[in-house]
Amino acid sequence: MVDTELNRGLEGIAVAETRLSYIDGEAGTLIIGGFPVSELAANATFEESVFLLLNDRLPTADELVAFRTSLASSRELTDETRSGLKRAAAEGVDPMDALRMGVAAANLGAETATAQQAVERTIAVFPTVVAAYWRYRQGDDPVAPRDDLRHAANYLYMLTGTEPSDAATAGLETYLNTVIDHGLNASTFTARVVVSTESDVVSAATAAVGSLKGPLHGGAPGPVLEMLMEVHESGDAEGYVRRKLAAGERLMGFGHRVYRVRDPRAAVLSAAAERFYEAGGDADFFETVSAFEATAVELLAAHKPDRRLDTNVEYYTAALLFGVGIPRDLFTTTFAVARVGGWMAHCLEQAADNRIIRPRSRYVGATDRTWTPIDDR
């Protein structure tokens, strides 16, 4: 048998070169498209971030107008797609399952003759699918997308039928920019694997959605919000943390597979949440969020002095998305609305210098069996 070195989860294995994002987990650094995440998230529109990842540069004013127009013109769903989402809502399927089904059907009747058109259509249609499904699930009809609204504002508008406030739009846009790409995570790797077989970007997107659905990847902000609500109602942050630690349970929103310090995205989203709540949100709730972070970090450091368990991206994701009006059940699908921009950029990058992704496994099964006829078994 050929001896194959085993790296579970491909940890520490580099399988691609990328210009899209860079992570230094020890230093707490995240670079997206050449910019520190704090600079990109605070200044860019989501359309600018997507253009940057797709083209390796920021757009000119005219290019940005053209790109926004192109995305906006690709948002609408066909009647057949809406019908499938309506049935999914009636059956109460998971929002991520509805997103997967809707995206798979989204190129029905769509003009996607080129790879660029398919990429733009896929990015544009994600929020429309999520919002249409959610409206059906609430017993309402979908709200048609508006061409005059930017990506983030249009998403909020389609969810509620009301044009969002500037503060809500700014908060959501910062979130979308912050999580648009993050190295070769599970869903991004999934997308690249699919495209490496010379499959299409819609197949890559639906496969990536399936990967993101898993609670180890995209499902943490919901439980974080539940935790914050419980602490806000009880007013006993220290007691909550001590009970969790005594029970040996994980404290959601703290610690990260990659970062050994505070997640740089947490800093960006903390500032965005503070701006939002100062502009008219529930200031008492945000005070709880901030105070709980300090309490939890202190107690975790005392409980596990040999391990850094700082705040991760999910902690302030929960506070910010809740504040701007995203339903808790749509936290992971909203993550997908952002991350699809990164997925599509990775798909184009993979296709431009492709080699099929084909790792090996270490065989540990039997090798000396002989066949036994069925009558003798």
pLDDT at 338 exceeding the cut of 80: yes
Q: List pLDDT tens digits, range 270-310.
A: 999 999 999 987 999 999 999 999 999 999 999 988 888 99
pLDDT at 205 exceeding the cut of 80: yes
Assigned token pair, 178: 């912050």
- Please name the residue ranges forming H helices in the chain: 37-43, 46-55, 61-72, 79-90, 95-105, 115-137, 151-160, 166-178, 186-196, 201-212, 221-234, 237-246, 264-278, 283-303, 313-324, 331-352
Residues in Cβ contact with 91 at an 8 Å cutoff, skipping those fewer than 6 apart? none
Q: Which of the following CATH numbers is that of domain 221-324: 1.10.230.10, 3.40.50.20, 3.40.50.300, 2.60.40.420?
A: 1.10.230.10
Q: Which of these ranges, 108-117, 183-192, 205-214, has the smallest mean pLDDT?
A: 108-117
Give the confidence band of 214 by pLDDT, cuts at 50, 70, 90. very high
Percent of the chain residues topping a pLDDT of 90:
85
pLDDT at 359 exceeding the cut of 60: yes
Domain 21-216+334-352 has CATH 1.10.580.10: yes
Give the confidence band of 112 by pLDDT, cuts at 50, 70, 90. low
Whether the model pTM is above 0.75:
yes
Q: List pLDDT tens digits, range 342-354.
A: 999 999 999 999 9
Q: List pLDDT tens digits, range 229-286.
A: 999 999 999 999 999 999 999 899 998 888 989 999 999 999 999 999 999 879 999 9
Do the beta carbons of residue 337 and residue 127 sit within 8 Å? yes
Tokens 């599509």 correspond to what residue?
344
What local confidence, expressed as pLDDT, does residue 212 receive?
A: 96
Catalytic residue among 256, 274, 293, 349: 256
What local confidence, expressed as pLDDT, does residue 59 receive?
A: 98
Q: What is the mean pLDDT of the chain?
A: 94
What local confidence, expressed as pLDDT, does residue 361 receive?
A: 87
Residue 18: closest CA among 356, 347, 265, 357: 347
Q: At how many degrees (to 10) do helices 237-246 and 283-303 cross? A: 40
What local confidence, expressed as pLDDT, does residue 5 receive?
A: 76
DSSP 375: G
Do the beta carbons of residue 252 and residue 314 sit within 8 Å? yes
What local confidence, expressed as pLDDT, does residue 362 receive?
A: 87
CA atoms within 13 A on the CB side of 247: 9
pLDDT at 9 exceeding the cut of 90: no
Residue 330: closest CA among 75, 156, 144: 156
Q: List pLDDT tens digits, range 160-169.
A: 999 999 999 9
Task: State whether the Cα torsion 100-180-183-52 is positive or negative.
Answer: positive
Burial classification of residue 340, based on how many CB atoms lie within 10 Å of its CB (0-12 exposed, 13-18 middle, 19 or more buried): buried
The domain limits of the chain are 21-216+334-352, 221-324
pLDDT at 20 exceeding the cut of 70: yes
What's the one-letter identity of residue 187?
S
Three-state secondary structure call for residue 192: helix
CA atoms within 13 A on the CB side of 347: 30
Do the beta carbons of residue 71 and residue 63 sit within 8 Å? no
What local confidence, expressed as pLDDT, does residue 3 receive?
A: 63
Phi then psi dihedrals of residue 22, to 5 deg: -135, 135
Q: At how many degrees (to 10) do helices 166-178 and 264-278 cross? A: 180
pLDDT at 213 exceeding the cut of 60: yes
Q: How far apart are CA 238 and CA 300, in angstroms?
A: 11
334 torsion bin: left (phi>0), alpha (psi -120 to 50), beta (else): alpha
DSSP 329: G
Q: Which of 5-9, 150-154, 244-248 has the highest mean pLDDT?
A: 150-154
Q: Which residue has the higher pLDDT, 4 or 118?
A: 118
Active site annotation includes 256? yes
Q: How far apart are CA 243 and CA 147, in angstroms?
A: 50
What local confidence, expressed as pLDDT, does residue 333 receive?
A: 97
Q: How far apart are CA 361 and CA 308, in angstroms?
A: 32
Tokens 């066909």 correspond to what residue?
78
Angle, CA of 226, 343 and 197, to the nearest 5°: 130
Catalytic residue among 47, 293, 314, 349: 314
Active site annotation includes 232? no
